[in-house]
Chain A
Amino acid sequence: MTHGIVWKYGDSVNTDVIFPGRYTYQIMTPAEMAQHAMEDLDPGFAAKVKPGDVIVAGKNFGCGSSREQAAACLKAAGVQAVVAKSFARIYFRNAINLGLAVLQSEEAVDALETGDSVDIDLAPGRIRSAKGTFPFLPLPASVLGIIEAGGLIEYTKKKLEQEQE
């Protein structure tokens, strides 16, 4: 179980505001990416976010480009999970492939506000706060193996090693 503070945003938070295109084709370290997280939506975010914090947002989080830094920069900034009403599909894939938890719960999003304190328990799929306990949809079984391995790179590495044996 992990503990964090909520940063709440609206619907359709797109990849350009999470990680601006002007940096997309510069190869950066995770720490450098973290400095630009949410830059065009909330310029104060990167300086204030703390490890374990949680982004809570409305519908279609991560819509727009396929840029993976939009998931990587949040993970590097210490964000433990994004809770949204729904996710754009490439963002959802990228987050899983990088090991960033992406959780869907309409009730949690409606209830939670910036500054709320939450505990997230991935295994039974539960978000707890002073405003109540909210269940979220478990991830499909087919992708759990990727999460359990710590991301797609580790998962594929193990698979390739097994094939060679």
Chain B
Amino acid sequence: MGKTLTEKILGRKAGKDVQAGEVVTVSPDYVLSHDNSAAIIKEFLKLGVKKVKAPGKIVIVLDHIVPAADERYAQNHKTIREFVAAQGIPNFFDINAGICHQVLPEQGFALPGKVIVGSDSHTPSYGALGAFAAGIGRTETACTWATDEIWLRVPETMRIDLSGRMRPGVFAKDLSLKLIGDHGAEMANYKAVEFAGPSAHDLGVGARLTLANMSAEMGAKNGYFAPDDKALKWLEGRAREPFAAVSSDPDARFESVLAYDLDALEPQVACPHTVDNVRPVSAVSGRSVNQVLIGTCTNGRLEDLEAAAAILKGRKVHASARVLVLPASWEVYREALKSGALAVLVDAGCVILNSGCGPCLGAHEGLMAAGEVCLSTSNRNFRGRMGHRDSEIYLASPATAAATAVTGKITDPREFS
């Protein structure tokens, strides 16, 4: 019997043949945390050890509330900076780097065949490049800092076979929402999701990052693409260490297989207050919005900002809406400056925010009052997530967001093509 990518990676780490259902203890390649490192440090100090076991494996990216919105957040950042210096942690990214889920791929940590655990639910993003990457909690992150090991159950795998080609105005985000809408937010709970089929490798690395990121909203432990030439080329000049890529065997055991034809896909919108409350854009078009958020770890890459700029070029943000733009990283920010996309967005009346999580998780930079509505390219629309509990969030692609910014109402981006 063949093995899935996940069985191979975890088996290699565990030093034995493993299959889905087994629990293994492994030493991860990297352990990610962000602003929550302050809380993790507090747990770590309870363990009675002075030093982290493998400082080179710890990656800390300040991204959630950057720059600090008030003195408590400032104290968290200070605590983290002091801990990083005292422990000699080399991989620390301060408030001018970007969102961890974009920074780790760009900085060459997210590599094929690696095991990455992170104290953030969207850690599966790194599967876009063929890593095994899963979210964990704060307490277990603290314990992993101390012991350099963690227990993981080897997940069963769901494969999603993609065929055809997305039409203009349709993007990876629409595919992810369609999948979650069709099968529910726990469609892959505890499972691995492999994006495969003839069209998977037509998708660029940015689209793969969007889908792997959104696999968290399917409940998945990890979501991934088999690393191919496109992924390896993207990693040239980025990979910070050697790696050994693996893929699922042709006779690997998949718990279930779904098939999707990309030709048939339309722009999708997730309606309040769950990510699986999905309708085609035509069913909700005309709904007025107060705010549009373009960016985040789900859709804040250069291609996303350019898709938005293509629609907003020569146009203005509607008088009834405010538009916030969050480039996913400073690398993206610089590229978008060079490409002219940011100038287009600024000329249209968009507010450009520092690369980071911004209002996505409801801590700062553009929260909503009661009764307000936001259309966002982020990954969650839970009640109260972006402000008052009586505000509403719709999720969609950057193109749908830009079209909505122009009209002030949820709008099909194909009207602008």
Instruction: Please tell me if the beta carbons of A25 and B73 are within 8 angstroms of each other in the complex.
Output: yes
- Digit string of B7-41 for contact with A (CB within 8 Å is 1, else 0)? 00000000000000001000000000001101100
Q: What distance in Å separates the Cβ of B139 from its nearest Cβ neighbour in chain A?
A: 5
- Digit string of B126-141 for contact with A (CB within 8 Å is 1, else 0)? 0000000001111110
A161 to B146 Cα, complex, angstroms: 12
Q: Does B198 contact A (CB under 8 A)?
A: no
Instruction: Please tell me if the beta carbons of B138 and A68 are within 8 angstroms of each other in the complex.
Output: yes
B165-173, B184-192, B258-266, B287-295 - interface stretch:
B184-192
Q: Does B85 contact A (CB under 8 A)?
A: no
Q: Does B46 contact A (CB under 8 A)?
A: yes
Residues of the A chain whose Cβ atoms lie less than 8 Å from the Cβ of B6? none
* Contact among A12, A20, A41, A90 with B137 in the assembled complex (CB-CB below 8 Å): A90
Instruction: Please tell me if the beta carbons of B363 and A21 are within 8 angstroms of each other in the complex.
Output: yes
Instruction: Please tell me if the beta carbons of B49 and A63 are within 8 angstroms of each other in the complex.
Output: no
Instruction: Please tell me if the beta carbons of A63 and B186 are within 8 angstroms of each other in the complex.
Output: yes
Q: What distance in Å separates the Cβ of B68 from its nearest Cβ neighbour in chain A?
A: 10
A89 to B223 Cα, complex, angstroms: 14
CB nearest neighbor in B for A140: B23
Given contacts A27-B39, A27-B76, A156-B143, whether A93 and B136 have CB atoms under 8 Å apart is yes
Q: Does B64 contact A (CB under 8 A)?
A: yes
A94 to B138 Cα, complex, angstroms: 8
A16 to B362 Cα, complex, angstroms: 10
* Contact among B38, B120, B137 with A27 in the assembled complex (CB-CB below 8 Å): B38
Q: Does A159 contact B (CB under 8 A)?
A: yes
Residues of the A chain whose Cβ atoms lie less than 8 Å from the Cβ of B65? 25
Residues of the B chain whose Cβ atoms lie less than 8 Å from the Cβ of A41? 383
Instruction: Please tell me if the beta carbons of A66 and B120 are within 8 angstroms of each other in the complex.
Output: yes
- Digit string of A3-19 for contact with B (CB within 8 Å is 1, else 0)? 00000000010111100
Instruction: Please tell me if the beta carbons of B121 and A12 are within 8 angstroms of each other in the complex.
Output: no
Instruction: Please tell me if the beta carbons of A64 and B76 are within 8 angstroms of each other in the complex.
Output: no
A26 to B68 Cα, complex, angstroms: 12
- Digit string of B359-378 for contact with A (CB within 8 Å is 1, else 0)? 00111000100000000000
> Chain B's interface: helix, strand, loop or mixed, by majority?
loop
Given contacts A12-B185, A60-B185, A90-B136, whether A21 and B385 have CB atoms under 8 Å apart is yes
Instruction: Please tell me if the beta carbons of B139 and A25 are within 8 angstroms of each other in the complex.
Output: no
Q: How many residues of A contact B (CB 8 A)?
A: 42
Instruction: Please tell me if the beta carbons of A27 and B147 are within 8 angstroms of each other in the complex.
Output: no
Instruction: Please tell me if the beta carbons of A12 and B274 are within 8 angstroms of each other in the complex.
Output: yes
Instruction: Please tell me if the beta carbons of B186 and A86 are within 8 angstroms of each other in the complex.
Output: yes
Q: Does A153 contact B (CB under 8 A)?
A: yes
Q: Does A114 contact B (CB under 8 A)?
A: no
Q: Does A128 contact B (CB under 8 A)?
A: no
Instruction: Please tell me if the beta carbons of B146 and A156 are within 8 angstroms of each other in the complex.
Output: yes
Instruction: Please tell me if the beta carbons of B382 and A157 are within 8 angstroms of each other in the complex.
Output: no
Instruction: Please tell me if the beta carbons of B384 and A17 are within 8 angstroms of each other in the complex.
Output: yes
Instruction: Please tell me if the beta carbons of B139 and A94 are within 8 angstroms of each other in the complex.
Output: yes
* Contact among A15, A68, A86, A142 with B139 in the assembled complex (CB-CB below 8 Å): A68
Instruction: Please tell me if the beta carbons of B47 and A153 are within 8 angstroms of each other in the complex.
Output: yes
Q: Does A52 contact B (CB under 8 A)?
A: no
Instruction: Please tell me if the beta carbons of A16 and B139 are within 8 angstroms of each other in the complex.
Output: no
A74 to B106 Cα, complex, angstroms: 38
Residues of the B chain whose Cβ atoms lie less than 8 Å from the Cβ of A152? 139-140, 143
CB nearest neighbor in A for B152: A93
Q: Which residues of A contact B (CB under 8 A)?
A: 12, 14-17, 20-22, 24-27, 40-41, 59-60, 63-68, 71, 86, 88-90, 93-94, 97-98, 140, 142-143, 151-153, 156-157, 159-161
Q: Which residues of B contact A (CB under 8 A)?
A: 23, 35-36, 38-39, 42-43, 46-49, 64-65, 72-73, 76, 119-121, 135-140, 142-143, 146-147, 151, 153, 185-186, 189-190, 219, 221, 274, 276, 361-363, 367, 380, 382-385, 389
Give the top 7 A-B pairs by smallest Cβ distance, nearest first. Answer: A16-B382, A21-B362, A94-B137, A60-B186, A40-B384, A156-B143, A21-B361
What are 23 pairs between A and B in contact, CB < 8 Å? A12-B186, A16-B362, A17-B383, A20-B362, A21-B361, A21-B363, A25-B36, A25-B73, A40-B383, A60-B185, A86-B186, A89-B221, A93-B140, A97-B140, A140-B23, A143-B151, A152-B140, A153-B43, A156-B47, A156-B147, A159-B147, A160-B146, A161-B48
